[in-house]
Amino acid sequence: MSDGIMSKAATMEIPISSNGDTGSLPEDDSLEQDLQQVMVSGPNLNETSIVSGGYGGTAEGIIPTSTIKGSGLHQPHPSPAVGGEEVVRGIAVEKFDIVKKWGINTYKCTKQLISERFGRGSRTVDLELETQIELLRETKRKYECVLQLARALTNHFYSLVQTQHALGDAFADLSQKSPELQEEFGYNAETQKLLCKNGETLLGAVNFFVSSINTLVNKTMEDTLMTVKQYETARLEYDAYRTDLEELSMGPRDASTLCRLDAAQSQFQSHKDKYEKLRADVAIKLKFLEENKIKVMHKQLLLFHNAISAYFAGNQQQLEQTLKQFNIKLKTPGAEKPSWLEEQ
């Protein structure tokens, strides 16, 4: 019996004790949020009929949707109605069973969650995997900060380029209307236009950087964290049904208890299989995510460094070469006025 209950060697059950000081638990503030999360995944019921009086109501309280047409109700033929009511009654019973199972599952998980939080229960912990998960969450927070700063840089620099463009136009206009300062206004106009051109090239590179980091953070990492959430829910269910099985195993072995024990063993095994599958899925996704992150960031950090360095060194040729190296194409002159900001 113990082998059927214990998980693989990679995991272990860690008892949680608070020595009665439950007020000092740091997780207590998030207990309500976790309970809400347990309740969110309710039963999936298709609206195939309108039921009056709730589950277990009489057949007269059930109106088949096929009889509702237009603005009035068409009374079906007596014989087909009987068969229709039986079908709808069967659907209602099936939905009742779904809601009942969901309610039992929610109760067990809520009980397990509260037990863990207040130090009266134990939870299965995969130390290596949970360390990797926490590292991913921390990495995501830091990358979100970099993304926010890079977007701010893009916004500020876009405003600078627009100002340089307007200043260049003003110098060019004054060069034509001020013969005594034509040359001075003229080379200042050319300088601002060159700075504007290089600035637009740099914005193209920075925008590519922002777009790639956004994809990594809000799509790739988020996808892995969605699987992590499913794994954490499966872990809670696994421990809830493990605890239930352990409690029944310590009780009397009469006929009724043995029947409940068999059912509990079956449910435990089902949740154990689900938990172990999701644990394996998370481990694989974390591995591929790490490889993908290194590949993406190696390219993007090299691009960012080379583009910024070339721009502020005034090396126009090197700046353009950097964009060619990373296959970044800018909009051609005369095309629709580009917005170098990332589309949200």
Render pLDDT for 251-308 as a digit per residue (tens, 0 to 9): 777 777 788 888 888 888 999 999 999 999 999 999 999 999 999 999 999 999 999 9
What's the pLDDT score for residue 303?
94
- Express as a percent the part of the chain with pLDDT over 70: 63
pTM exceeding the 0.75 threshold for the entire prediction: no
Cβ–Cβ contacts within 10 Å for residue 241, how many?
24
Q: In the predicted model, what is the mean pLDDT of residues 220-238?
A: 94
Lowest mean pLDDT among 88-97, 229-238, 253-262, 303-312: 88-97
Name the residue among 204, 219, 233, 238 with its Cα closest to residue 293. Answer: 219
Q: Is the pLDDT of residue 98 over 60?
A: yes
SS3 62: strand
Evaluated on CA atoms 18, 21, 22, 25, the torsion sign reads negative
Distance CA 45, CA 98 (A): 8
Q: Which two tokens stand for residue 34?
A: 């976790």
Mean pLDDT, all residues of the chain: 76
Name residue, tokens 């207990």.
Answer: 31
What's residue 22's pLDDT?
A: 39
Highest mean pLDDT among 77-81, 101-105, 144-148, 332-336: 144-148
Per-residue pLDDT, 261? 86
Q: Is 15 helix (H, G, I), strand (E, B) or coil?
A: strand
SS3 label, residue 142: helix
The C-alpha atoms of residue 145 and residue 297 are separated, in whole angstroms, by 15
Res. 228: pLDDT tops 50: yes
Taking alpha carbons only, the member of 222, 209, 202, 198 closest to residue 150 is 209
pLDDT band at 200 (very low <50, low <70, confident <90, very high): very high
Q: How far apart are CA 107 and CA 232, in angstroms?
A: 17
Q: List, as one string, the DSSP characters of 254-311.
A: -HHHHHHHHHHHHHHHHHHHHHHHHHHHHHHHHHHHHHHHHHHHHHHHHHHHHHHHHH
Q: What are the tens digits of pLDDT across the range 136-172?
A: 999 999 999 999 999 999 999 999 999 999 999 999 9
The reported pLDDT for the residue numbered 64 is: 38
Cα-flanking dihedrals φ and ψ of residue 62, to 5°? -110, 125
Name the most confidently modeled range: 34-48, 112-126, 183-197. Answer: 183-197
DSSP 68-126: EETTEEPPPPHHHHHHHHHHHHHHHHHHHHHHHHHHHHHHHHHHHHHHHHTTSSEEEE-
